[in-house]
Each structure stands twice: as structure tokens, then as C-alpha cells.
Amino acid sequence: MTTTSTPPRKRLFIRTWGCQMNVYDSGRMADVLAPIGYAPAETPDGADMVILNTCHIREKATEKLFSELGRLREAKATKRAAGGEMVLAVAGCVAQAEGAEITARAPWVDIVLGPQTYHKLPEMVARASRAAGAVIECDFPAEDKFDHLPDAAAPPGVTAFLTVQEGCDKFCSFCVVPYTRGAEFSRPVAGVLAEARRLVSAGAREISLLGQNVNAYHGEGPDGRSWGLGRLLRALAEIPGLRRLRYTTSHPRDVDDDLIAAHRELPQLMPFLHLPVQSGSDRVLAAMNRGHTADDFLRIADRLREARPDLAFSSDFIAGHPGETTAEFEQTMVLVRRVGFAQAYSFKYSARPGTPAAGAPHQVPEAEKDARLQALQALLRDQQDAFNRSRVGMTFPVLFTGPGRHAGQVAGRTPWLQPLHLSGQLGLVGTEASVTVLAAHPNSLSGLLAAGRDADNVQPAEEPAPA
């Protein structure tokens, strides 16, 4: 009698830098590689394939990549000495920007692929196993990569990301995204809804829609017409079992009346919005090619808060953009005080090769950029602390996502995306329950299940719609 055994699975390790879009892309790369035998690994040690999914937005992104590649060169040699092979790939925006320069500096890299080509990874792996040199795929292909992706192979968890839009047509002076992600592209509505239903069927209760300019979404609807983000959100809100919706990253220029109305009308749309402003100075905003003024941003913020009074904002800021004066930086501080932010990301200006601002005159000295950033971050930290403290004593629904950082804790998300933990109650994972906040900490809240907890304030997962 003959017996057959299942061949051992190959181990895949993906290191992800940068935004939520990269997190989503890394998950889809794992999905693409699963049918040819790759299973996720926790570390790169002994892995059969390692992918570095890079981000060009962060400072010194290229230097960090090559530092990591130096370490992986040794791991690749160790794997070969043991009789195996490690396929080493560089993906993402640095790969798109640098292309063949990566393999010129690090010839032990097998594959370089841009963010629009990862659906071709199985083919690239096969080519790399046959090729004498590296496989480089950094084009912007005509076909929609989403048409070629398999269904997700792994359950998403209680929360999930879903890319609905990619690319950027804005060409801000400081940003490389239009060059690394290409022109704006929106997925058809049918594909988005189908993926959302699969995510909910697999256990997701909160979905965050992703896009470089997510509120520029203009996907083709089942009626053949272009749908905006507001209409897409309404369709997603009808999926049974989907309790929460978010979206990021948005642009002030693309906030329209229908999207504002969606914030007023949809209880599933959480009262937290990341809306980057970058500066409070109109002259600096014009130099950045942002296409909006400080007053434009303030009017949009006021209209959104009128539609949803409990709405809280997050934003992005750049300190020391070329030509920014001390008075113009103070205008940013004035805007921050006027709006009040629950959370924010702030950076000192850092030149990105090939962008207009990189060669602009009147670059701000590093010491001055540092001083401005420290002042800005101190104000933003005070606002975040104040917002967190304002939640103490309030009772609201929390979606529980998993165990907390410490033994015996369960962790969840508030409607405003704050982490919240409470002791025990691990059976709450995957449910939404009313919690009274007891204390605010630097980066989280702690609470207690609301008194009189019953079926009205603990909501089990609803029966999902068929995939």
C-alpha cells in the first residue's frame, strides 16, 4: 500500500512599513502566495521567502531599507548553507521609486515590485527561480490588479481594512505618492461590496476603507454611473453584521455635500475623521499645492461637526515647509487651537527626491524645523490628553477586538478610535458593549462594563450576509 504525505508548507515573512494601505497590501500579498504553498511566519529566520513592503513617506526610508537588506543578506546565506533558498523581495513605494537601483546596490535581492503589480507575485517567484538575475516589476499595468486577486486566505479579525481607491492626482509639492502609486483609480462598487461581505462573513465587525485620496472615490456602480464615497458608505451600511465603518485618508478638496450627509445619517459611520490640513498658512498651502485655504478647512470642519456634533478630528501637519516663516508657522498653531484635534500626526519637512519642494529656495534650517515641530507636538499632545480626559465618566459602545496587553485584560476601540481596556470579560471579543470610562491614560482609556449590562448594551455578532 502506498501513502502520500502533504508537502511541507513554505514559510513567508512580510515586514511592513508605513500606512494602513501597506498593511492591506501585505495581507493581499500573503493571499496571493498562499495557493503556491506559502504560509505566514512570525520571523524572517529560516523563512523561504521574505518581503519588505516599504513606504517612501517616512524619513530616511531608503536608508532603512538597505540597512534591513544588509541583515537579510546574512540570513539568506545561512539558509543557503543549510541546503535551502530564501527568495528576497522588496515591494511598495520605495521599490517603485528606486527600481533597478535596489538590485544594483543589493544584488542578493531576487524581486523588486511596485504596489500595482503584487498580483503577479506567483509568476515573479517562478521567474526568479529560473532567472540568473533579479525580476523587476515596477510598471503601472493597464489591468486592474483587484480583478486578479484571490479571496482572502486568512480570517480578518474583528476589524479589517478594505482598499477602495489608490493613487493620487493632487501632486502636493512635498509628496511622492503620485509618482509611486500612480493616478487615482477607484474600484468598481460591486467588487468593494463583495469583498466587504466576505470580510463580514469571516468575522469582521468594523471595516476601514482605504485610499490615498479615499474621498475622491468615484467607482462604477451597478447602475453604470459613478458613485461617490457617501453613496458607497450607504451601500456598505446595509450589510448585515457590519457594525462600524471608517475611512482614511481623505482630502479637504474632496469633502462633498453627500459625504457630509452620510456622517449625519449613518450610525455605522464612526464619529472620527482623519482630514489632513498640513498648514494653517494660506501662502504655505499654496506653495504645497494643496488646493484649499485655511478658511476652507475650517468651514468644512464646522459643517461636519454640525452634521455630527460628536465628531472628532485627526490631521497631518508639516513644520518647516520651504519658505515657511515664523509668522506662518504661528498661523498653523492658531488653526490647531481653533479646531481642536483628538489625535494628529506631525512631522518636520523632509525633502523627497524628485518632488518640487525638494529643490525649492529658502529651505528652513534644521534647528528651526526642530523647534517648530516640538512646539506643535506639545500643543497637539495637550489637545489629545484633554480629549481623552473628556471621555472619563461617559458611557458609550466599545467594539472589543482581542486580549489586552496585560494578562486578564480585554481590549477594544471606542467610536473615536481610542484603545480601551478593561479587566476580564474575554468573552466580549467580537461584540460591542456599553462601557463607562473610569480613567484616561497617555495612549488609552480604561473602563468598566456599564451598570445593568443586558442584551440592550451587549450586541453579539449578527448573522452575516452570505459571501
Which strand ranges, in their side-by-side order, compose the sheet holding 343-348? Answer: 272-274, 312-319, 343-348
Predicted pLDDT of residue 274: 97
Residue 96 near residue 118, CB atoms below 8 Å: no
Predicted pLDDT of residue 335: 98
Q: With 70 as the cut, is the pLDDT of residue 61 above it? A: yes
Domains and CATH numbers, the chain: 10-137 (3.40.50.12160), 145-390 (3.80.30.20), 395-459 (2.40.50.140)
Mean pLDDT of the chain: 89
Cα–Cα dist 168/342, whole Å: 26
160 phi/psi in degrees, rounded to 5: -150, 150
Q: What is the pLDDT of residues 313-353, one digit of tens each?
A: 999 999 999 999 999 999 999 999 999 999 999 999 998 88
The span from the first CA to the last CA of the chain, in angstroms, equals 41
Cα–Cα dist 298/286, whole Å: 16
Predicted pLDDT of residue 7: 52
Q: With 50 as the cut, is the pLDDT of residue 4 above it? A: no
Predicted pLDDT of residue 455: 32
Predicted pLDDT of residue 95: 87
Binding residues: 19, 55, 93, 168, 172, 175
Binding residues for [4Fe-4S] cluster: 19, 55, 93, 168, 172, 175
Cell digits of residue 371: 523647534
| Least confident interval from 21-35, 135-149, 259-273, 304-318 | 135-149
Predicted pLDDT of residue 467: 37
Rounded to the nearest angstrom, the gap between the alpha carbon of residue 277 and the centroid of all alpha carbons in its chain is 18
Q: What is the pLDDT of residues 20-48, one digit of tens each?
A: 888 888 888 998 898 889 999 999 988 99
Q: With 60 as the cut, is the pLDDT of residue 458 above it? A: no
Predicted pLDDT of residue 133: 73
What number is the average pLDDT over the span 420-437? 91
Enter the pTM of the model: 0.80
The more confident residue out of 122 and 370 is 370
Q: What is the pLDDT of residues 209-234, one digit of tens each?
A: 999 999 999 999 999 999 999 999 99
Q: With 90 as the cut, is the pLDDT of residue 192 above it? A: yes
